[in-house]
Amino acid sequence: MSTENNIHTEWVHLAYDERSVFNETYGFAGNQGKINVEGLRLRPAALTPSDTLLVYMHPSSTMQLLPVPRAMAASGAHVLCAGSRYQRNDSALIMEKVLLDLGAYIRHAKEVWKYRHVVLVGWSGGGSLAATYQSQAESPTITHTPGGDPVNLVDAGLIPADAVIWQAAHLSRAHLLAEGLDPSVRDELNPDDRDPELDIYDPSNPNQPPYTPEYIARYRAAQMARMRRITAWAKATLARLKERNGAEMERGFVVHRTYADPRFMDPSLDPNGRKPRWSYLGNPEAVNNGPIGLGRFSTLRSWISQWSLDDTCANGLKCIAKVRAPVLVIENGADDAVPQPHSRMLFEAATSSDKRFHLIPGATHYYAGQPDLMNEVTQLIRDWLGERGIRI
């Protein structure tokens, strides 16, 4: 435990039983018949009690160093930054199992810490996770992964959150990849074999910003075609491995050039206050060819579970339509990570009788150098929850 900047930090470790045919996480996180997950609970330094816990979770990242949850904790809220079994390595991530990890944290919050209210705050990549979890907690349906492996959420006893907040979040990891996958790649084993008319980073491409609607339609269709070719290959390869019934049950692979959303190059596409020819990861062309791109390293099952738009369970548009809890959707007006339409699309898809949309003009993804906007969104969340009898 430590206290820093008026925030008391407590390490949290949970372990629960799980039986799998093989391990997909390295080290102690998921072997010996146990799943081990770690997080940090942030509370005011004075340890002022609260009936409410705000839970932040990303499928593969850690949250405790990010400004958003820390700002909530600094305002006096109790915050849990929950890490999945796949934190810092999403190459073998199975979305359905991340839901079980999140469920373990919420059960601990309710039954051990005795919080009366638990609120899911889905920031960035945690948005679709929050919506998916809540939809399955309210009305569970999943019994298997898209790869065909058993993962029984119907009998998992997931506890629903009392409210869901979608803050600067995209529709899903699969949506983000589908809109960023570079359609110029013609040979998955040779990323230098490219169609120059579909390479937005090629100066010889005759199609230059501002792009025509016809070009964007062609580009988007080519992106989905590439995604579906990879998915078909992954499913066929997995089927062959299963037919062999041997010790090789999974396979890893590389997907090159996955960061080529034309919105990076053309600020007139879905305009907001973002910086042209830039992204939250830096120069998008460099990221497109670099090692940290979305879906760069994957296993067969993970691709189908988290990256295939046709197969993933974590589709924010579909999941939010099943959520009955109160929903707050917050769009950052200068977001350079989340495509501008995503927040409004999610809000329109939500069917909760209690839903609200709010735009923070000028806010970037991380609110970097924007303390006033960070204070604004923090107060917005506190007020919205308070109006619903959820005090933090």
CA distances from 265 to 183, 197, 274, 383 (A): 15, 15, 11, 38
- Does 268 lie in the same domain as 293? yes
- Does 167 lie in the same domain as 26? yes
Percent of the chain at pLDDT exceeding 90 = 91
- Does 302 lie in the same domain as 160? no
369 in a structural domain: yes
The predicted pLDDT at position 293 comes to: 86
177 in a structural domain: no
Domain's final residue, options 307, 340, 371: 307
Q: Convert the pLDDT of each residue in 7-23 to its tens digit.
A: 999 999 999 998 776 67
- Does 156 lie in the same domain as 42? yes
Q: Convert the pLDDT of each residue in 85-124 to its tens digit.
A: 999 999 999 999 999 999 999 999 999 999 999 999 999 9
Average of per-residue pLDDT across 221-249: 97
255 in a structural domain: yes
Query: How many whole angstroms separate alpha carbon 87 and alpha carbon 13?
Result: 14
Q: Alpha-carbon dihedral of residues 67, 69, 73, 77, nearest 10 degrees?
A: 150
Does the pLDDT of residue 210 top 60, yes or no? yes
- Does 38 lie in the same domain as 168? yes
Does the pLDDT of residue 54 top 70, yes or no? yes
- Does 129 lie in the same domain as 224? no
* Residue 372 structural domain: 2-172+313-387
- Does 285 lie in the same domain as 301? yes
Please count the structural domains in the chain. Answer: 2
Query: CATH number, domain at 162?
Result: 3.40.50.1820
Domain's final residue, options 286, 307, 328: 307
Does the pLDDT of residue 147 top 60, yes or no? yes
Give this prediction's pTM.
0.95
Q: Convert the pLDDT of each residue in 253-264 to its tens digit.
A: 999 999 999 999
Q: If you write DSSP's letter for every residue of 109-156 in order, what string do you get?
A: HHHTS--SEEEEEEETTHHHHHHHHHHHHHS----B-TTS-B--STTS
Amino acid at 387: E
Q: Convert the pLDDT of each residue in 339-391 to its tens digit.
A: 999 999 999 999 999 999 999 999 999 999 999 999 999 999 999 999 999 99
- Does 329 lie in the same domain as 250? no
Domain's final residue, options 307, 324, 346: 307
- Does 193 lie in the same domain as 167? no
Phi, psi torsion values for 53, nearest 5 degrees: -120, 130
Does the pLDDT of residue 1 top 60, yes or no? no
- Does 149 lie in the same domain as 259? no
- Does 301 lie in the same domain as 321? no
Q: Convert the pLDDT of each residue in 169-205 to its tens digit.
A: 999 999 999 999 999 999 999 999 999 999 999 999 9
The predicted pLDDT at position 364 comes to: 94
